[in-house]
Amino acid sequence: MTRRWKSAWMGVVALGGFAVAVSASAGPLHAFCYGSTPSCTDNGTVTPTSDTSPNFGFWISKGPTSGLFAVAVLVPNNYAAASSYTINGTIGGDPTTARSFVAYKNSGTWTSGTLQNFLGFSASPNNPLSAWLGSTQSVDSGATGYNVYFTFLGPVTLEPKKGRMTGPLLSIGDLQLGSVVAGFLSVPNPRTEGVDISATAPSGALFEDGGTPPVATPEPGALVLFAAGLAGLGWALSRRRQRA
């Protein structure tokens, strides 16, 4: 799957007919939880949830802001990679607006640099790997990066925090432990005849910290060392009995 999203973003935004130049003042995105999902709050590093099938959305600083909305699902790379994730959504909970979107796996694995560079576009603020990998490794020590799933959800208006429940309300099922969900909003910039993309604040990304961690399979070398350690322990105990 292509990693060059910017040209597609520009085309869809242009077709959407957005005429409001808000990119210069739009701020970062922030995740929130709603409904049956336990409350999730930005803790200064991430926005954790214990729900493996969370109901969530994003609000935007200095909103409301209209543009083309996209979501990235980041799954620890030591899991067997699924081919896709399905995101269900409505606008403000209105059932007549219900739609499903498939986030397909991007080629490669994100193990260095920023998420924007990995996906092939520019956005602000930056989302470096280091912003989220430490949190993921705290619940999944075997992760060294992420498999990245990406989808466009179409033209929407993201609201400021106070009005967040009138914007896109989303759900996703069966998130793996240590996964991260981030959003992007692209808006037209008439000065450059291009688009500006607002990314999720690093601490505002939804972080899955519940569920069951993967069972690590010891490396062959580790098994040898473990066996040697047991043998050494047995020898030491034997020597102690002989001296007694």
Instruction: Decide if 198 contacts 29 (C-beta within 8 A).
Output: yes
Q: What percent of the chain has pLDDT over 90?
A: 70
The identity of residue 206, as a single letter, is: L
Amino acid 140: pLDDT: 95
Residues 6 or more apart whose Cβ sits within 8 Å of residue 107:
1, 3
Q: What is the mean pLDDT of the chain?
A: 83
- Cα–Cα dist 183/194, whole Å: 19
Does the structure show a pLDDT above 80 at 200? yes
Amino acid 8: pLDDT: 56
Highest mean pLDDT among 1-5, 25-29, 133-137, 239-243: 133-137
Does the structure show a pLDDT above 70 at 215? no
Amino acid 189: pLDDT: 83
Does the structure show a pLDDT above 70 at 180? yes
pTM of the predicted model as reported, rounded to 2 decimal places: 0.80
Instruction: Decide if 121 contacts 6 (C-beta within 8 A).
Output: yes
Does the structure show a pLDDT above 90 at 205? yes
Mean pLDDT across 114-137: 96
- Cα–Cα dist 238/95, whole Å: 72
User: Where do the domains of the chain lie?
Assistant: 6-213, 219-244
Amino acid 243: pLDDT: 54
What is the 8-class DSSP label of residue 36?
T
